[in-house]
Amino acid sequence: MKNTSTLGLFLAVIITLSVVSCNTSDPVFDAPVPGKMQLLFDNVAGSADLKLNASTYQNAAGESFTVTKFNYFISNLRLRKEDGSEYVVPQNSSYFLIEEEKPASQTITLNNVPAGKYTGLTFLIGVDSLRSMADVSQRTGALDPGTNNGMYWDWNSGYIFMKLEGISAVAPAAQNNTFFYHIGGFGRSTVKINNLRTVTLSFRNDVVNVQMDATPALRITTDALKIFNGPTQLSIAQHPSVMFDTFSTNVANNYVQMFSYDRVQAN
Amino acid sequence: MNTLRTISTKRIWLTVSVFLFGLAVACQSSKEPDPVVPPDPGPPGGGIEYKPTPVTLRKPANFPDVIYNISQNPLTVEGVALGKSLFYDAQLSRDSTVSCGFCHQQFAGFGHSDHALSHGIGGKFGSRNVPGLQNLAWEREFFWDGGVTSLDELPLTPIQNPVEMDLKFSEALSRVQKSPKYPAMFKSAFDSDTVTTARFLKAISQFLLTLVSADSRYDKYVRKEAGGDLTTDELAGLALFQQKCSTCHATDLFTDRSYRNNGLPVGAINDQGRYVITLNEADRLKFKVPSLRNVERTFPYMHDGRFTTLEQVVDHYRSGVKDSPTLDPALKVNGQPGIALTDIEKRQVIAFLKTLTDNTFINNRDFSAN
């Protein structure tokens, strides 16, 4: 008898716990079921689509070039709601490497986005200092310092935030006419440069509605020409190779302007 | 009655377990997959049992606090053995000629004996002297310029450096995964035979962390252990050292882990040292203060190996220190660059430095290639 009542009590506790622990997915007790949002990064060069090893583009300095590689990190995403509040994408799901040579990498899906109406987006170009210094087991996938397609500096611990490489007749013959822009530096300890940049985009007059059964897809245009044409006019002839040096902050200040919101497409 | 109750109790417990299981499944399905930290598939490991034997990191009584976060990588017999195997494996270089142990020789305090500059694949040379490996759990940053901020990330650099081992790290992982011996070793060390960046690096860290040098005659002297007798000259050298050298070569690690310009005239390589990492003008020509443990064995000396004897090193501090905007203030007392030492004092300081040779460490079979 005593045994049975103990078990009965135990069962009651379990059932209570079950209701409490699962209530995030229980529409009766909580907010509406979360949905998803997709971000499609469309890399372009001015008015033309960006094509690796193919099309020739021209920067504001009048230099013609082709692009052989274009990669960048997007992280720490925050979605702004109509009421001004923000949804912060959880840290572990908030690092993305967009690579022009890998079309699948250009679509990122944010899961578990609270249902609601969204009007804007904020993200970091690069990888924040905390994650950059985190234990190596916390840095897998695109953040794996050993296998992330050359987006890590092993001699000066840190991620390359943006990598643009190409060929131009004005680049030095000694470099085989290639140019390199590898921009990184998260400003650890006494390091002088910090190239982390924050981008905030408004969805203009669009109100993006996330629901359980509606996954809106936002197109974001990334204009690689802005890497050259910005507050500092970047000339390939003058700067055929910019990596970890003080000039790199000028390039970061240019590319912070390369993103723009294009449109939303309902799925 | 008793039997009946037992049965009904069992049934209730069964119901509870089924319910709990269902609950676990139901709750799990609402979790979203994580794009950055994918769950480990944890493949079955060919019958190897995962029963690691813990190893305690040795913390000598005369050392300061450990910096390495050992809770993120607890040492095990299996992990250390795997790390050691990787450390001595030449497969980790492009043409399978150069292992980590090629440049880090135990008899030389895990430096490269008689090599001023690092000597890698295909007879190529780097621009700096191979640092010895010891007491790495007490290091905050690595290499002469401190560019690498975690011991776990250290092996990426030499493996991928074109003048050292020249192998893409992804290729190193793939060679290890395909090797007949390693998957089982990973299974016994990490409960998975899948070779990942983190497991590979942490295994090497585990081995490196066991390289504790703390049994020199000097250590025995300060810990008042048997065999810790110092001669009159050595004791005089110790007193001089504490007075004139220990600002930088501080604590029983014999380094304060800072970056300093010790007044070496700029060499032809024109190595700007710490500046390359921080881009701060104030860091030009600064290099990490090296430990002096086993210094008798780690010749040549300085970041570019320009000195081959301890006499030359001390002579540099006596009369070779070159003034420059970033020269360390500790080397410019009363406006005069350098450290004043008589010939007798020089001999005594060197005699003391040789008491830092740790033969137990240098001859420890646990650290040697099998």
Preferred mutation among B19, B197, B199, B204 to probe A, highest tally of A CBs within 10 A: B197
pLDDT computed for residue B102 by the predictor: 93
What pLDDT does B370 receive?
75
Q: At B236, is the pLDDT very low, low, confident or very high (cuts 50, 70, 90)? A: very high
pLDDT at B16: 47
Residue whose token pair is 């000066």: A156
Nearest to A165 by CA among A69, A66, A54: A69
B328: which residues sit within 8 A by CB, 6+ positions away?
A: B248, B260, B261, B262, B263
CB contacts of B79 in chain A (<8 Å) are none
Q: What is the CA radius of gyration of chain B?
A: 26
Q: Which of A178-187, B121-130, B176-185 has the lowest mean pLDDT?
A: B121-130
Q: Considering only the beta carbons, identify the residue of B69, B196, B278 that sits closest to A191.
A: B278
pLDDT tens digits, residue range B290-328? Answer: 999 999 999 999 999 999 999 999 999 999 999 999 999
CB contact under 8 A, B152 and A136: yes
Strands A95-99 and A107-113: unpaired
Bridge partners, residue A152, by sequence: A159
Residue A254 reports pLDDT greater than 50? yes
User: Tens digits of per-residue pLDDT, B43-87?
Assistant: 444 567 899 999 999 999 999 999 999 999 999 999 999 999 999
Asked if residue A29 has pLDDT above 80, the reply is no
* List of chain B residues whose C-beta atoms are within 8 Å of the C-beta of residue A112: 32
Is residue B345 predicted with pLDDT exceeding 60? yes
Q: Which residues contact A107 (CB under 8 A, 6 or more apart)?
A: A38, A39, A40, A41, A217
- Domains by residue range for chain B, with CATH: 70-212 (1.10.760.10), 217-361 (1.10.760.10)
- The CA distance from B197 to B165, in Å, is 17
What is the pLDDT confidence band of residue A30, given thresholds at 50, 70 and 90? low
Question: Which A residues, 47 through 86, put their C-beta within 8 Å of a C-beta on chain B?
Answer: none
Of the segments A262-266, B6-10, B122-126, B277-281, which one has the largest average pLDDT value? B277-281
Would you state the pLDDT for residue A93?
A: 93
pLDDT value of residue A206 = 93
Are the beta carbons of A10 and B33 separated by less than 8 Å?
A: no
Q: Do B5 and A3 touch (CB under 8 A)?
A: yes
Can you list the alpha helix ranges (DSSP code H) found in B191-292?
197-209, 217-222, 232-244, 275-278
Residue B361 CB contacts under 8 Å (≥ 6 apart), including other chains: B109, B134, B211, B212, B213, B214, B215, B294, B367
CA-to-CA dists, residue B189 to A212, B206, B260, angstroms: 43, 11, 40
Sorting pLDDT into bands at 50, 70 and 90, what band is B335? confident
The per-residue pLDDT for range A148-178, each reduced to its tens digit, is 989 999 999 999 999 999 999 999 999 999 9
Interaxial angle between packed helices B182-190 and B77-87, expressed in degrees from 0 to 180 and rounded to the nearest 10: 150
Task: Give per-residue pLDDT as tens, A57-73.
Answer: 999 999 999 999 999 99
Residue from B277, B281, B286 whose CB has the most chain A CBs within 10 Å, to mutate? B277
Provide CB contacts within 8 A for B93, sequence distance 6+.
B99, B120, B121, B159, B164, B165, B166, B167
Q: Residue A4: in which H helix or E strand, if any?
A: helix A2-21
A105-141 pLDDT per residue, tens: 999 999 999 999 999 999 999 999 999 999 999 999 9
CB < 8 Å to B276, chain A:
156
Alpha-carbon span B349 to B237, nearest angstrom: 4
Q: Which of B26, B32, B38 sits opposite A140 (nearest CB)?
A: B38
**A22: nearest CB among B27, B200, B277:** B27
Q: Are A157 and B153 an interchain contact pair (Cβ–Cβ within 8 Å)?
A: yes
Q: Quote the DSSP letter at residue A106.
A: G
Radius of gyration for the alpha carbons in chain A, expressed in angstroms and rounded: 23
- Residue B283, pLDDT above cutoff 80: yes
Q: Which residues of A touch B280 (CB under 8 A)?
A: 190-192
> Which residues of B line the annotated binding site for heme c?
100, 103-104, 245, 248-249
Res A157: pLDDT: 94
pLDDT, position A6: 54
How big is the A-B interface in CB pairs under 8 Å?
A: 127
Tokens of A185: 């530096």
Q: Do B150 and A144 touch (CB under 8 A)?
A: no
The binding site of B consists of: 100, 103-104, 245, 248-249
Question: Which of B210, B170, B204 shows the shortest CA–CA distance to B99?
Answer: B204
Residue ranges with strand state E in chain A: 35-45, 48-49, 57-58, 64-81, 86-88, 95-99, 107-113, 116-125, 152-153, 158-167, 178-184, 197-202, 208-210, 217-223, 241-242, 259-265
Is A244 near chain B, with CB under 8 Å? yes
Query: Does pLDDT of A239 surpass 90?
Result: yes
Which of A3, A146, A190 lies closest to B197 in CB terms?
A146
Question: Tens digit of pLDDT for each residue in B348-357?
Answer: 999 999 999 9
CA distance A56 to chain B (A): 31
Asked if pLDDT for residue B8 goes beyond 80, the answer is no
Among B349, B341, B314, B329, which residue's Cα sits nearest to residue B261? B329
Residues of B in contact with A143 (CB under 8 A): 36
Residue with tokens 């590689």: A69
The 10s digit of each residue's pLDDT in A65-100 is 999 999 999 999 999 999 999 999 999 999 999 999
| Residue B245, pLDDT above cutoff 80 | yes
Q: Is A107 on the interface with B (CB under 8 A)?
A: no
Judging contacts by C-beta atoms under 8 Å, the chain A residues touching residue B20 are 14
Averaged over A206-216, what is the pLDDT?
Answer: 91
- The whole-chain average pLDDT of chain A stands at 90
| DSSP string covering B299-360 | -SBSTT--B-SHHHHHHIIIIIPPP-TTB-GGGEETTEES----HHHHHHHHHHHGGG--HH
Average pLDDT over residues B170-177: 97
Closest Cα in chain B, distance from residue A62 (Å)? 31
Quick one: which of B246, B257, B243, B254 has its CA closest to B219? B254
Taking the C-alpha atoms of residue B234 and residue B241, their distance in angstroms, rounded to an integer, is 10
- Are A11 and B23 an interchain contact pair (Cβ–Cβ within 8 Å)? no
* Main-chain dihedrals φ then ψ at residue A114, nearest 5 degrees: -55, 135
Which residues of A, range 166-225, sit inside 8 Å of B by Cβ? 188-193
Quick: pLDDT tens for B190-205: 999 999 999 999 999 9
pLDDT at A1: 43
pLDDT at B26: 42
The residue assigned the tokens 């702004």 is A80
Give A110-134 as a DSSP string: EEEEPSEEEEEEEEEES--HHHHTS
CB A178 within 8 Å of CB A226: no
Structure tokens at A89: 């994408």
Q: Give tens-digit pLDDT for B46-55.
A: 567 899 999 9
B100-117 pLDDT tens trace: 999 999 999 999 988 888
Could you give the CA distance from residue B327 to residue B263 in angstroms, rounded to a whole number? 6
Q: Within a 13 Å sphere around the CA of A45, how many CA atoms are in the beta-carbon half?
A: 19
Residues B144-158: tens digit of each pLDDT: 999 999 999 999 999
* pLDDT for B40: 52
Question: Which residues from A are below 8 Å from B177, CB to CB?
Answer: none
Contact A143/B at CB under 8 A: yes
pLDDT at B11: 54
Alpha-carbon gap: A113 to the closest alpha carbon of chain B (Å) = 11
Residue B227 region by backbone torsions, left for phi larger than 0, else alpha for psi between -120 and 50, else beta: left
Residue B364 contacts residue B211 (beta carbons within 8 Å): no
Nearest chain B alpha carbon to A89: B34
Q: Does residue A23 surpass a pLDDT of 50? A: no
Q: Which residues pair with A86 in a beta bridge?
A: A80
- Quick one: DSSP state of residue A157? T
Best B36, B171, B191 residue to mutate vs chain A (most A CBs within 10 Å): B36
Q: What is the mean pLDDT of chain B?
A: 90
CB–CB contact B197 A193 (8 Å): no
Tokens coding B175:
């060679």
